[in-house]
Amino acid sequence: MPTLLTEAKLSERDAAFAQELGFSTIRWQLTYDRIIDKVSSREVQSIEPILLNGIRLGVHQLLQMRVPAHASLNETVNLIRQACGEKVVGFANGVLRRVSEKSFEQWLEAITDGLTSQVEILSLRFSHPEWIVRALQQSLKSDGMEDDLADLLGSNNTPALVTMIALPGLSDRDEFLNEGALTTYMSPYGFVLDSGNPSEIAEVRSGKVRVQDEGSQIAALALVTSREIQGEEEWLDMCAGPGGKAALLAALARANGAKLEANEIQEHRAELVRKALRPFPEVTVTTKDGRDIGDTTPNYFDRILLDAPCTGLGALRRRPEARWRKSAEDLKSLVELQFELLQSAYHALKPGGLLLYVTCSPHLSETTAVISRAIKELGVSVLDLTAELNEQYFSGSLPKERKTVQLYTHRDGTDCMFMALLTK
């Protein structure tokens, strides 16, 4: 989308409109398809994709944007005429006019009428695949928050504000706060833009300021501030792509006399890491298989960040397409990879060192289940990260019944990051 917007040379207002239209149509795809099914003479799966996408765009404008109904109809029909030809215009026009006869809330009632499964109802009302609804339900239940499921699903459909980080030693967030930016609640280096394009900020272009969710900022900070730094420590970011956490770690390493290695196995992502680390030429960027690092450098690193590949269910508000790209079948291979990487990181950790295991997912299979297996098979020790973060960043708001930390978008205003601080 950023590339398309740049190529189109749209004004800021039109770019915002295009982004809302594109992202939110993808976000609400499941719900819109069920609505289209109610009024169409053809089943949704039989409608050719370009035509269907055009209709979906029109449905979003009609039901959830402030565009007048006649303008939504005319512009969408003209777009479909241009993209698909005249022969389907009548069909598209008929579907959209039928959709326009009810409000969004009335359609939600219509498509869930008669359903008895709460999971299926929530799936349609909030446009999440049922397996994701169940996963979030189980995660919340494990924290005694099962009544929050609708709130969490709703937060995934609310576009996130743009959260930034002023990298310590390179930039000062107070300058942005003085210019009207909003402060972050937990991170001492974060701020929030309520409007504007971050890429137009000079310090963003130079790499001194970055777009980064506050949960990600806290994850990097948790590894560094949980214990006083002793001398010239060796740090590793094992799965560093695309480089956001690595940049913050690099700034903190420079300030504290530590040495950082940023590793990313995929070359195109490693290139993103190099770009993120342009202000830090002293950082070594490698492209090793993280599963081998424990064998090649055993008992070597003082601190390791393992931001493991995961389903990304914790960032659905930022990546609206992610809910359709992943499936429950992806979990088995991902969870095995997560454990293999954790095992390698544990072997690479010095005795007494700190290892932070992170996923941007609240799915229990990717979070507490991995840690439970590591306790059983590797003998890892789990430190009380909840107590540490409550004292330093969260002012006691995290639930104290657990040592690991699960952030939730609707409660904490961050992506749903999971963090476990380990040692040996």
Q: Are strands 234-237 and 301-307 parallel, antiparallel or unpaired?
A: parallel
* pLDDT at 309 > cutoff 80: yes
342-393 per-position pLDDT tens digit: 999 999 999 999 999 999 999 999 999 999 999 999 999 999 999 999 999 9
Are 278 and 409 in the same domain?
yes
The amino acid present at 263, given as its one-letter code, is N
* pLDDT at 422 > cutoff 80: yes
The amino acid present at 355, given as its one-letter code, is L
H/E stretch holding 322 reads helix 322-325
Taking the C-alpha atoms of residue 72 and residue 96, their distance in angstroms, rounded to an integer, is 9
Looking at 84, 113, 142, which one is the last position of a domain?
113
Task: Provide the 3-class DSSP secondary structure of residue 400.
Answer: coil
* pLDDT at 153 > cutoff 80: yes
Q: In this structure, what DSSP letter does residue 48 have?
A: -
C-alpha distance across the termini of the chain, in Å = 44
Q: Which of 9-13, 184-188, 261-265, 409-413 has the lowest mean pLDDT?
A: 9-13
H/E stretch holding 207 reads none
Residue 236 β-bridge partners? 261, 304
Q: Is residue 186 part of a domain?
A: no
The amino acid present at 220, given as its one-letter code, is A
pLDDT of residue 200: 84
Residues spanned by the domain of 387: 214-423
Contact 225, 187 (CB under 8 A): no
Contact 405, 398 (CB under 8 A): yes
Q: Is residue 274 part of a domain?
A: yes
The burial class, CB within 10 Å (0-12 / 13-18 / 19+), for 158 is exposed
The amino acid present at 18, given as its one-letter code, is A
Q: Is residue 143 part of a domain?
A: no
Contact 233, 259 (CB under 8 A): yes
Q: Are strands 349-359 and 209-211 parallel, antiparallel or unpaired?
A: unpaired
Phi–psi pair at 420, nearest 5 degrees: -130, 125
- Where do we find the tokens 């003082």? 302
Phi–psi pair at 410, nearest 5 degrees: -70, -25
pLDDT of residue 116: 97
**Number of folded domains that form the chain:** 2
Instruction: Please report, for the domain that includes residue 50, its CATH number.
Output: 1.10.940.10
Are 104 and 241 in the same domain?
no
- Where do we find the tokens 């409109």? 17
Q: Are strands 284-286 and 234-237 parallel, antiparallel or unpaired?
A: unpaired
* Catalytically active residues, by annotation: 360
pLDDT of residue 196: 76
Taking the C-alpha atoms of residue 170 and residue 203, their distance in angstroms, rounded to an integer, is 9
Are 227 and 362 in the same domain?
yes
> How sure is the predictor about 199, in pLDDT bands with cuts at 50, 70 and 90?
confident
Taking the C-alpha atoms of residue 24 and residue 151, their distance in angstroms, rounded to an integer, is 18
> How sure is the predictor about 12, in pLDDT bands with cuts at 50, 70 and 90?
confident
Are 223 and 100 in the same domain?
no
Q: Which of 94-98, 105-109, 167-171, 196-200 has the lowest mean pLDDT?
A: 196-200
Phi–psi pair at 17, nearest 5 degrees: -65, -45
Q: Which of 5-14, 137-146, 242-251, 397-406 has the lowest mean pLDDT?
A: 5-14
H/E stretch holding 260 reads strand 259-263
Looking at 113, 131, 146, which one is the last position of a domain?
113
Sign of CA dihedral 234, 284, 270, 161: positive
* pLDDT at 195 > cutoff 80: no
pLDDT of residue 231: 86
* pLDDT at 54 > cutoff 90: yes
Q: What percentage of residues in the chain have a pLDDT greater than 90?
A: 95
Task: Provide the 3-class DSSP secondary structure of residue 120.
Answer: helix
Taking the C-alpha atoms of residue 109 and residue 105, their distance in angstroms, rounded to an integer, is 6
Taking the C-alpha atoms of residue 415 and residue 248, their distance in angstroms, rounded to an integer, is 17
Looking at 81, 113, 145, which one is the last position of a domain?
113
Q: Is residue 28 part of a domain?
A: yes
Task: Provide the 3-class DSSP secondary structure of residue 408.
Answer: coil
Taking the C-alpha atoms of residue 119 and residue 56, their distance in angstroms, rounded to an integer, is 24
* pLDDT at 49 > cutoff 90: yes
Q: Is residue 184 part of a domain?
A: no
Instruction: Please report, for the domain that includes residue 240, its CATH number.
Output: 3.40.50.150
Contact 315, 212 (CB under 8 A): no
pLDDT of residue 359: 98
229-267 per-position pLDDT tens digit: 998 999 999 999 999 999 999 999 999 999 999 999 999
* pLDDT at 280 > cutoff 80: yes
Taking the C-alpha atoms of residue 392 and residue 228, their distance in angstroms, rounded to an integer, is 13
Q: Is residue 136 part of a domain?
A: no
Sign of CA dihedral 400, 403, 408, 412: positive
Q: Are strands 190-193 and 301-307 parallel, antiparallel or unpaired?
A: unpaired
Q: Is residue 204 part of a domain?
A: no
> How sure is the predictor about 3, in pLDDT bands with cuts at 50, 70 and 90?
confident
Taking the C-alpha atoms of residue 84 and residue 54, their distance in angstroms, rounded to an integer, is 9
Q: Is residue 177 part of a domain?
A: no
> How sure is the predictor about 2, in pLDDT bands with cuts at 50, 70 and 90?
confident
Phi–psi pair at 351, nearest 5 degrees: -55, 130
- Where do we find the tokens 């449905």? 59
Residue 303 β-bridge partners? 235, 354
Q: What is the pTM of this model?
A: 0.95
